[in-house]
Amino acid sequence: MILSDDRLTTIGTANLDIRSFEQNYEVNVLAYDPILTKELKEDFLRDCEKSHLIDYRKFLERPRMDRLKKGVAKIFSPVL
């Protein structure tokens, strides 16, 4: 999701890279709607209030099972 100038919103699956634009079947919607953009912005800011920062040191100290899950998921990421 990208919000711009409190009037424009784009939501979708496309990442901002060549693979997403040229090889993957990605889709985005572009909405010129100030009301929708405002609602999505407020929702995003509420999510930010519930979030917490994880620094790199803490990331390295995560449980072994979490690291294993990430490693397995990384193997299958090209087909997901």
Confidence at residue 23, expressed as pLDDT on a 0 to 100 scale: 81
Confidence at residue 40, expressed as pLDDT on a 0 to 100 scale: 96
Q: Which residues contact 4 (CB under 8 A, 6 or more apart)?
A: 37
Confidence at residue 51, expressed as pLDDT on a 0 to 100 scale: 95
Q: In which residue ranges of the chain is pLDDT below 50?
A: none
CA angle 72, 61, 45 (to 5 degrees): 85
Identify any residues that bridge with 12 across adjacent strands, giving them in sequence order. Answer: 28
Tally helices (H) and strands (E) across the chain.
4, 3
Please give the tally of structural domains in the chain: 1
Query: What are the backbone angles phi and psi of residue 70, rounded to the nearest 5°?
Result: -65, -40
How far apart CA 60 and CA 56 sit, in angstroms, is 6
Confidence at residue 48, expressed as pLDDT on a 0 to 100 scale: 95
Confidence at residue 15, expressed as pLDDT on a 0 to 100 scale: 82
